[in-house]
Structure 1
Amino acid sequence: MKWQEYQEAVGVLYEQMSEMGEVKKNITIPDRITGQPRQIDVWWEFPAGNHLIKILIDAKMRTSKLDVKDVEEILALAKSVKADKAIIVTNNEWTAPAEVFANPEGLDFLVLTIDEATDLIVDGKWLMCHDCQNDCVVMDSDGAIEIEGKINWWLGGKCRSCKTLHIICQSCGAKVMMKMNDSWKCNCNFEWTNKEDYYEFKVIEENGIEDYQNPNQMKIDFN
């Protein structure tokens, strides 16, 4: 998952959570001193009596825990745009000193995992990739072919990040994960080969290999 997608997922999360007010995503607000535009991941405004409450929400996709420096940066940003409250949403967690520093300032933390984030914004998400665990597999390929009067069909999808191919042969129930350029044959003699933007499909027969590839059906496109 790209950090821009994680930012979008955090915005979608708060759009779903907020029952009042307005949630804005990826906007700029003038700095209270310099007037220069400051980028804001998510901005939530809602009325409370005669007042308008303004909450700054910052998305941080990290491989390690947030620390005090992260808290200091967001608190400074919140002050510069006159936010009443700040929230950090992260896929990881935070250090104990970061929490101690944040508590007196009223800054909150929220964990939104990569799995949860992809649920919010990725159409066709199948599962999180068991190989890289950094992104999801999108189910965007299926097919069927008649062989000797029997219908054989399968489901497939690739990890958006590492391009590992996940295949389920519905005919024999076999499942596999294949890295780039790997090949695999299931129990009913179907053979797949994982390529960059598609996978090749063949049927192994007793008298040789007969190619049943259908490019229109088999190709997997990635953006």
Structure 2
Amino acid sequence: MTSWKKYERFVAELCSEDYQSPSVTVMPNAKINGCLSQTTRQVDVLIDSRFGDDRNRRIIVDAKKYNRPLNVKDVESFHGMMIDCSSKAGILVCPNGYSTAAKKRAQDFINLKIVSLEELENIDLELWDDCLSDNCDERAERGLVLWDAPMGIGFTASPVSISSIGKCDVCGEFHIWCWDCGKKFSLSNESAAQCNCEHSWFWLTAIEGDEVSLNDHQQSESVYLLLVTPIDALIADRKPFVHFPYAETV
């Protein structure tokens, strides 16, 4: 694993710990439709609303493993990316600090955070699970799964069941880890799966339109992870749906 990739994954792990919330989802190496560039933008870590496309809660994180401090041009470039990704807040992470001009340029919308390389020494990212999706077999590098905080599922006629939700940092597919039977599995877009338990529910992914428009000509869509029960379909997680699969990722 390259050192910069390990740094990005470490930053994703930190974000997952810092933003643990039932209403927030954290996705490593996310892909977002650029509203101005009309191309696919790569985001090191996306912190987004879990249950709907609320751009006011969106935060994008960029990990810059530079041998120098961040300068004002780095901040300005990142601010332009924030605008293209419809994000009103951002976090720039670096190991070697930033200039005074960069700090002033960041102002209230960009948080400059220092994560030293020494902190990587006590982190074993090999403990991340390998992606279980066949889609990763077609890529140069098989992805790793960043597990989210566990969620409890309770019914009056049955005990509480615990499952964790994760996302691959290469193909982006949802992963489910059932704590009852121990099974782990992935779900591609618009698919369904069930664990080995005898529960009456199953997991489903669906692409659905959101109320927020990226511009006058394009409607936003998300891939929703749903827990389908005998009486309801509950939103468990979501991720942006990329409209430009053949465009260059920048």
TM-score, with length taken from structure 2: 0.45
Contact 1:6 1:61 in 2 (8 A): yes
- Report how far residue 16 of structure 1 moved: 1.2
Per-residue CA deviation, residues 78-101 of structure 1 (Å, 9 max, x unaligned), is 100101201101111000011011
What whole-Å deviation, never above 9, does each CA across 1:46-81 have from its counterpart, x for those lacking one? 379x94510011001111110001001110001001
Please, which of 42, 53, 60 is the counterpart of residue 45 of structure 2?
42
Give the conservation status (yes or no) of the 8 Å contact 2:69–2:99: yes
Q: Say if 2:21 is the partner of 1:22.
A: no
Q: Tell me what 2:153 maps to.
A: none
Distance 2:123 2:110 in 1: 24
Displacement of 1:17 after TM fit? 1.3
Q: Contact 1:13–1:120 at 8 Å: present in 2 too?
A: no
Which segments of 5 or more consecutive residues in structure 2 lack a partner in the other structure? Answer: 128-250
The whole-number CA distance in structure 1 between the counterparts of 2:42 and 2:54 is 24
Contiguous gaps of at least 5 residues in structure 1: 125-223
Show the 5 A alignment for 1:176-215.
none
Q: Distance in 2 between matches of 1:32 and 1:63?
A: 32
Tell me the distance in 2 between the aligned counterparts of 1:111 and 1:71.
Answer: 14
1:57 equivalent among 45, 58, 61: 61
Identical columns (%)? 22
Structure showing greater Rg:
1
The alpha-carbon deviation at position 121 of structure 1 amounts to 3.6
Residues 171-220 of structure 1 deviation map (CA, whole Å, 9 limit, x = unaligned)? xxxxxxxxxxxxxxxxxxxxxxxxxxxxxxxxxxxxxxxxxxxxxxxxxx
RMSD after superposition: 2.4
**In 2, Cα distance between equivalents of 1:26 and 1:119:** 22
**Greater relative contact order (Cα < 8 A, sep 6+):** 2
Instruction: Tell me the TM-score normalised to structure 1 length.
Output: 0.51
Q: Which amino acid letter does the alignment assign opposite residue 102 of structure 2?
A: A
Structure 2 counterpart of 1:81: 85
1:100 to 101, 104, 108: 104
1:4–1:123 CA distance, 2 compared to 1 (3 A): closer
Equivalent residues, number: 123
* CA-to-aligned-CA distance 1:116-139 (integer Å, 9 cap, x gap): 134234469xxxxxxxxxxxxxxx
